[in-house]
């Protein structure tokens, strides 16, 4: 597994499993299978309402906690709750989180960031970052932060490679982590001719070619999966390397096309919506 060193010196695997849209039971099984297959990065969030299942999957795997990079995200409705980090730790069944992100640029995100900084100082969190923030709000965080963000989790894929955002983040040594790494499962993207051609050359699937593109683009990537075969296949991307010419060829399919947009009204709704975290299994 290839790793990246974050701007605070913490090492993070470049490929992990995402648990978005998985029930607690599905998350438990997916995390267990992923860890069994060699994954060491697990991503979840308050809003996924499956943190307890993720925690169970980790325990069930028997993999020592210190070998696992566990990442979760605070939801905007909890940004002002001083004890939300502790509640998140309890749901996950762990005494520390490797990477904690603010999930959305909504609500009192500056207060939420200060709470995360406090958790770092107390040894409850090893690294902090942001998810879905734009350049303006990232700059605002940086200008007011004691501890610099390490990661921006955001939509990124060959149709939307985040070229300009990366230029901005590079100034602060902040890493991109890609969600929707396959373009929300868009068959048009996955079946682009360039991926089909490269898949045949390397004896891989189109999906594996795209995940390899992410790795070589310096994206940390977290494809979601519940199918054990897909989980096993998604991590099998470290035994080949695309050439510079092939990476350049892939860059030509950039359509500046994204699949997720958050309007001001949507963000206001996020700030008001409280997931039923206490009721999750």
Catalytic residue among 32, 48, 160, 180: 48
Q: H or E element: which one contains 131?
A: strand 125-131
With CA atoms as reference, report the closest residue to 188 among 164, 157, 220. 157
Residue 48 annotated as catalytic:
yes
Q: According to DSSP H, which parts of 62-162 are helical? A: 84-92, 109-121, 135-144
Q: Who contacts 10 (Cβ-Cβ below 8 Å, separation ≥6)?
A: 98, 99, 126, 127, 150
Q: Are 183 and 189 in contact (CB under 8 A)?
A: yes
Q: Which residues of 44-65 are buried (b: 16+ CB within 10 A; e: fewer)?
A: bbbbbbbbbbbbbbbeebebee
Residue positions annotated with a catalytic role: 48
């Amino acid at each position: 597994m290839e790793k990246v060193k974050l701007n605070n010196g913490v090492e993070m695997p470049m490929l992990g499993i995402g648990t978005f849209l998985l029930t607690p039971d599905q998350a438990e099984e997916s995390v267990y299978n992923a860890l069994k297959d060699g994954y060491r990065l697990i991503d979840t969030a308050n809003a996924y309402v499956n943190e307890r299942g993720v925690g169970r999957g980790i325990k069930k795997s028997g993999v020592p906690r210190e070998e696992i990079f566990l990442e979760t995200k605070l939801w905007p409705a909890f940004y002002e709750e001083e004890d939300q980090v502790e509640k998140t730790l309890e749901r996950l069944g762990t005494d520390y989180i490797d990477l904690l992100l603010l999930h959305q640029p909504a609500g009192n995100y500056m207060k939420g960031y200060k709470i995360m900084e406090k958790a770092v100082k107390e040894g409850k969190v090893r690294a902090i970052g942001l998810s879905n923030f734009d350049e303006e709000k990232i700059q605002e965080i940086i200008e007011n932060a004691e501890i610099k963000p390490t990661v921006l989790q955001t939509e990124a894929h060959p149709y939307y490679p985040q070229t300009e955002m990366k230029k901005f983040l590079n100034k602060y040594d902040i890493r991109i982590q890609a969600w929707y790494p396959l373009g929300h499962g868009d068959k048009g993207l996955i079946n682009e001719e360039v991926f089909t051609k490269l898949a045949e050359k390397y004896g891989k699937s189109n999906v594996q070619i795209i995940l390899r593109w992410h790795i070589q683009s310096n994206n940390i990537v977290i494809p979601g999966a519940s199918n054990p075969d897909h989980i096993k296949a998604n991590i099998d991307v470290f035994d080949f390397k695309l050439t510079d010419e092939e990476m350049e060829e892939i860059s030509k399919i950039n359509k500046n096309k994204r699949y997720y947009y958050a309007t001001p009204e949507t963000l206001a709704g996020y700030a008001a919506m409280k997931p039923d975290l206490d009721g999750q299994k």
